[in-house]
Amino acid sequence: MAKRKRNDPTNGTSEAKPASTKKPRAESPSTTTSTATEVYDRKKPADAVADTETFTIQIVAGSYDRILHGITAVVGPETVSFADTFLFNAHISAIRALSLSPISPPIPGQGQKVFLVSGSTDEKINVYSLSAHPPGARDKEAQSDLLGLTPRPVLESKGNREVGALHHHEGGITSLTFPSRGKLLSAGEDSCIAVTRTRDWSLLSKIKAPVPAAVGRPSGDTAAYRGTPSGVNHFAVHDSLKTMISVSKGEKCMRLWNLVTGKKAGVLNFDRTLLRDVGEGKYSSGEGRKVAWGKSEGGGDEFAVAFDRDVAVFGEDAVARCRLMGDIKTKVHEISYVSAGADGKGPSLLAVSTDDGRVLFFSTRPEDLVQPKKAEGEKEDDDEDRLPSAKLVAAVGGREAGVTSRIKDFTIIRRTTGGEETLYVIGGSSDGNIRIWRVGKAELLEAARKGKGTKEVGRLLATYGTQNRITCVEAFEMIPRPEGVEESEDEGEDWEDEESDEDEDEED
């Protein structure tokens, strides 16, 4: 993983250049982009929560330009410093999905590892092994000779290496996830969800989704090979690891799967009223783009289905409870539930990244739902079956904060320091910038308890230009290296817990 891209980036507008060679262009404070040696730091608001400890985040970004970019961000109380850990052409076409496994269990005398997988439209899944520890002293000494040769800091780790490639699909890869250390689930345009065992990377089974019939498409010889829309758009595994929901191309429905038997458990069709409320008109596809599981206020489960411009939230009874966007007219890119309770438990807020450069936080509690307003000339009975809207409680980013490009993907890291929990929102934009926001959980909950009105929460810590059009982002907090353990070439190759694998095999 020591290869580096030599050709110049195609979108060099966000390139981080050394201050000694070129004079930086004057920019307004709201659009300043930090380089590897320069941090964009705003004045700290009074209600922001500062983390007094310094820690390291490993960020991985995939792009339209086939580049897989690894970055370490050392986050301090007031500043963030970045360094490139790896940068290379991972695929022959655009990268569409990334996923990180949980950190391996500790083994005496060995470092801990994390598996990284990337999926692309080239039908291949690349597997990498990343060190869970920040680069050690040996890595820093080895890179000292490059300090004057590269425009940005480079800090490669010998523990990062390529494992291999998986060819389990006959179409482009659309979604990847590690429900546990021992299993990898992948979905593709071949309408299959593959279950892979990470111990030997063997294919255990394939869950086949039905291929929808072609409607309003060319027939006969005029249709291209695989021309009809098909394939799994996205899927989400429940915390119990027993059920899964998925949405597919060309289908106005959502499917529920039993992971114990590997068979279909049910189908939830999207009726015309629901599609009308979420903005899916007569000429829209009506298919779900993203799905996510969450917790409701009563301790039960709920799930969300994202469409092109809105999100519908369903309860345990599979009945639509509300929609999110309300009067907000923008495109939805990614959704994720953020637990509002301690230790990741309790009711959740639903976070949504949008086309206008914001990450919005919604409350889906029954008391926070807003009934739809009656339009002029509309009958009283017309709005009885309309879905209420969830309350928008907070937001980060946006034009007022200097973020104008769409946020294609984001991930949230939770940290607890001194009894205070802090959320770090890491978003990747199409302009090639990665932004890190710090949001105090108490601040977020206080905004949720207040009345109407959107509150700008958190603080933008730093912005880093990757020089590539980002499509997906993943990140994890690196853990300190155990004493007496140095980074070496033979670090923790076989780190899977045999007992956990046996238990998981029995469940599956």
How far, in Å, are 101, 113, 133, 498, 506 from residue 503 at the CA level? Answer: 18, 21, 28, 9, 5
pTM, 2 dp: 0.83
3-state secondary structure 242-288: CEEEEEECCCCEEEEEECCCCEEEEEEECCHHHHHHCCCCCCCCCCC
The confidence score (pLDDT) of residue 140 equals: 62
pLDDT digits (tens, 9 = 90+) for 85-97: 999 899 999 999 9
pLDDT digits (tens, 9 = 90+) for 108-138: 888 899 999 999 999 999 999 999 999 876 6
Strand stretches in 315-419, DSSP E: 320-323, 332-339, 348-354, 358-363, 391-397, 407-417
pLDDT digits (tens, 9 = 90+) for 394-441: 999 988 888 989 999 999 999 988 778 899 999 999 999 999 999 998
Task: Check which CATH number belongs to the domain holding 133 and give it.
Answer: 2.130.10.10
The confidence score (pLDDT) of residue 13 equals: 39
Query: Domain span at residue 104?
Result: 32-212+229-370+386-481
Residue 249 lies in a domain: yes
HSE, side-chain direction, 13 A CA sphere, residue 312: 28
DSSP symbols for 440-500: EHHHHHHHHHS-SS-EE-SEEEEEEE-SS-EEEEEEEE--PPPTT----TTSSSS---HHH
The confidence score (pLDDT) of residue 452 equals: 63
Residue 508 lies in a domain: no
Residue 218 lies in a domain: no
- Cβ pair 373, 388 in contact under 8 A: no
Report residue 382 as tokens.
Answer: 């017309």
pLDDT digits (tens, 9 = 90+) for 234-274: 999 999 999 999 999 989 999 999 999 989 999 999 999 99
β 391-397/455-456 pair status? parallel
Report residue 498 as tokens.
Answer: 């045999």
- Cβ pair 91, 66 in contact under 8 A: yes
Residue 289 lies in a domain: yes
Residue 439 lies in a domain: yes
Residue 112 lies in a domain: yes
The confidence score (pLDDT) of residue 16 equals: 41
Q: How many domains, the chain?
A: 1
Residue 491 lies in a domain: no
Residue 21 lies in a domain: no
Mean of pLDDT values over 221-227? 59
Centre a 10 Å sphere on the Cβ of residue 487 and count the other Cβ atoms it contains. 19
Report residue 27 as tokens.
Answer: 């920019």
